[in-house]
Amino acid sequence: MKKFLLLSLMSLASSTVFAASSTNTIGIVNLRRCLEESELGKKESAEFEKMKNQFSNSIGKMEEELSSIYSKLQDDDYMEGLSESAAAELRKKFEELSSEYNTAQGQYYQILNQNNLKRMQKIMEAVKKASEVVRIQEGLSALLNEDIVLAIDTSSDKTDAVIKILDDSFQNN
């Protein structure tokens, strides 16, 4: 019985030592920082902002024209000075421009959403590749998105290493 107890204790002790020596290490990556601080993320964000500004400028011109026509339609003195056909034409122009504006705005949002999705997919793919390199270099078993981790030691944050690899890859392309 003593031998069995001694063997059980030795077995338990050795399995604990083995488990401690083969502990899987986990790191985290802050995706928001990768998007905001990496060269790729900055480039993609700048291109997205440029596209938004171009759309805003073209929509802005339509808004100005709509506003001008609307002001004329609301000005009783102006409308009384027009012939019935000219007033009807102005109303028709306002309706057509309103419809065109609504269509353009819908297309604008659809294009922006599609572009943003493609941009995020491109960046996420690059972050995944960079994360795999960091995981291998640092001998980690996994790198997780910081948002899904409730608590972890700050030394597990590998975001800077991932950003460095993203920047190196961006400069080489």
Stated pTM of the model: 0.69
CA dihedral for 87, 90, 95, 96, sign (positive or negative): positive
Q: How far apart are CA 45 and CA 39, in angstroms?
A: 10
Question: Among 14, 13, 47, 11, which residue's Cα sits nearest to residue 120?
Answer: 47
Query: 9 pLDDT exceeds 80?
Result: no
Mean pLDDT to the nearest integer, 2-11: 47
Q: Residue for token digits 């960091």?
A: 134
pLDDT grade, residue 13 (50/70/90)? very low
Question: Which residues lie across from 143 on neighbouring strands?
Answer: 27
Q: How confident is the model at residue 6, as a pLDDT?
A: 40
What are the chain's domains?
24-172 (3.30.910.20)
Tens-place pLDDT, residues 37-93 = 999 999 999 999 999 999 999 899 999 999 999 999 998 888 888 889 988 999 999
Average pLDDT score over the chain: 86
Tens-place pLDDT, residues 17-49 = 334 344 569 999 999 999 999 999 999 999 999
Quick check: 23 and 153 in contact, CB under 8 A?
A: no
DSSP string, 94-119: HHHHHHHHHHHHHHHHHHHHHHHHHH
Q: How confident is the model at residue 58, as a pLDDT?
A: 87
Q: How confident is the model at residue 3, as a pLDDT?
A: 53
Tens-place pLDDT, residues 118-168 = 999 999 999 999 999 999 999 999 999 999 988 888 888 999 999 999 999
Q: How confident is the model at residue 106, as a pLDDT?
A: 94
